[in-house]
Every structure is written in C-alpha cells, then in structure tokens.
A = this chain, B = another copy of it.
C-alpha cells in the first residue's frame, strides 16, 4: 500500500542532526570528516542519503541541518539543494534537545502547524519506500493536536547499546501503518534487562526519529525544560538579523546539555500512555545505525564469513581467510590465514582490530587526543 495520497498534506520540515564527532569510524572519520559526511555504503554520503530518502516527503529547501563548525562547510557543499541558511553550526555541542528545539522555535513564529521530523544523519535505511510510507503516516498523526510520534525499530537481538521504547495499547492503524501508545522510554539496559525486553515483545529500539508540530515541540520545551525556552526564543527572534551569529554564540551554549529523549519524551511519558499523547510507529524499513566497523561489515558482506574489501580500486586475494573487513583504496589486499579482522588504512593512519573489538575504536581516538596530543589525527 502507498501513502502517496496523504503526502504533502501537512507541511513537513525535516531537521537533520549532524553534529556527530566521528570517532566510531576512525581513522576514516575525523572531527572534520565525521561519519555523516562519509560514503560508507551505497551512493553518496550518509547525510546525502538521508536527504535523498526524505525527498518524496519534503523538498530539499525545507530541510534544516544542525551540525558543528568542523562539518558545516562540507555539509553545505554536499547538500546543494539545502539552503545554506538552514545549515546551522552549533556554537557548542549541547546534545539533542536544543538542536531539535531551535527549528521549532524558528517555525513556531510563522507556521506553528508545520510538522517537524527529527532525523539522525548517519543511519542506514534498507527499504526507502517503506520508510516513506511509515513517515507519511507519522506526519499525518503528528499534525493532529499535540501528538508526538516516535519510530520504534523492531528489535532483533538483546542490544545493550540502544534506548528502548516500551509500547502500550494498540490503536487504529493510520494509512495502514500500526500505531501503539508509548508507555515509557527506557535508557540503554544491561544484558539481562535487554533480554527481558526482547522476550516481552512490546519493546522497540529508539532509533532517534521523532515527529511533532513546531508548536507541540516548542510548548514541550517550555513545559519540560523551562530554562531552555527563553534562550531559544531569543535566538529564534534574532534569526535573519545581522545579530544572529552573535546571539546564537552567546545564548546557545547556555542551554542545558541534554538529549531530547530525556528532556522531553521521558518527562512527557510520565503522564501515562493515555495522557502523554506519544505514539509509536514501526520503523520496519531495515534500519541500521551503522555503529561500528563490524556493522558496516555486516551491511556490506553476504554473511559473517565474507571478506569485505572496501575502498576505490581495491582488490582481494584471500587464502584460508574469512570474515574480515578491510578498507584499503587502490591496493591489492592479501589475506592469509586470518579471521574476523578489521583493517582500515587512510593516508595517515592504519587501524588494526577485530570485528568484536571494533566498537571500542573511540578508545584509540581518546588516547590519540588526550594522551598523545595528536590533534591532526582526531
């Protein structure tokens, strides 16, 4: 079924969060070349794919991007359809609450009914058509009253690296997409709790995609993070004036450093599923947050025994080797009797680790930064 009939009914503005610092894919990712601007899989950088994926729902010129000063210029280059004035570099990293909320305050002044969608800039979606169908239903639902819509990824393993959404009563589908009330948001669980969540059947991974009208989000900030609201109002008031940069730089860093999940969603959910107005739609579109070299290996290989050789013009000769990921552009990669390795080469660095340990690459970045002072490699 297609949600096409309902597309473009409420005005929809995607807000793409692109402030990630780029440690998980070191040494390919750096502060100034973070994961979201890399082409890791498929055509185009991850943020280009994010914008392309949203194209059936929102024209590029309606998109906003919140990033940092290391990445802003490159993102403006990579997204020629997105207005440069819609690509904001945070004066300081303040987690996701102020980044999500600032566009809400900006839009609230002139078009409060616009539905804002919050999107990570560095996740993979395998089924773009399904993504559009689910989003269209979510936009419709979020355009009604004070509704807040979150997308829950159907969990496939007792993952301890994600937050969870505990779902409650099942409601009437919207455009054929299942809708459930949200009971509670749960922070990253321990293994035992994650197993319980998985067994319970009504828990979904929180993939960081949220939908709400500009008014709903701005009001939620006023209600749940009252100190932050006047700061964002002043920044929004200055937008389009010569003072904007100055005001932005002065006030934004005063905002509380807090995630939108915790600042708004968890606090709102305390009202109980019947009164919070938070709804969960299934993110059943082959979502992957591509959180490590191991998960890129999984995406690119046929199975766990695949040797994946990545990078332009690289070739492979493998003898008694399987389940390795190697990034070595322009090189003949020769594997002899090795399993489960991750080897990533760039012009100035060579990472050698295992699929199993690849989620700890940030420890290398931390050591280079804090202990060795190798700023040029960060």
Contact = CB atoms under 8 A, between A and B. Distances in A.
Interface of A: 26-27, 317, 319-321, 324, 326, 328, 330-338, 341, 343, 345, 348-354, 356-358, 360-361, 363-364, 367-368, 372, 374, 377
Contact of A336 (B337, B361, B372): B361
Given A343-B343, A368-B317, A27 B353 contact: no
Contacts of A374: 332
Report how many copies the assembly holds.
2
A332 B361 CA distance: 14
Nearest to A342: B336
A261 to B, nearest CB: 30
Between A317, A345, A351, A356, the greatest number of chain B beta carbons within 10 A of the residue's beta carbon is seen for A317
Contacts of A338: 341, 352-354, 357
Nearest to A339: B354
Given A334-B353, A336-B363, 12 more contacts: A317-B368, A324-B352, A332-B348, A332-B350, A333-B352, A334-B352, A335-B352, A336-B351, A336-B357, A336-B364, A338-B353, A343-B350
Contact of A351 (B320, B330, B334): B334
B350 A331 contact: yes
B324 A337 contact: no
Contacts of A349: 331-334
- Counting from the closest, the 10 A-B pairs by CB-CB distance are A337-B357, A336-B353, A332-B349, A328-B350, A334-B364, A334-B351, A331-B350, A333-B350, A335-B352, A336-B357
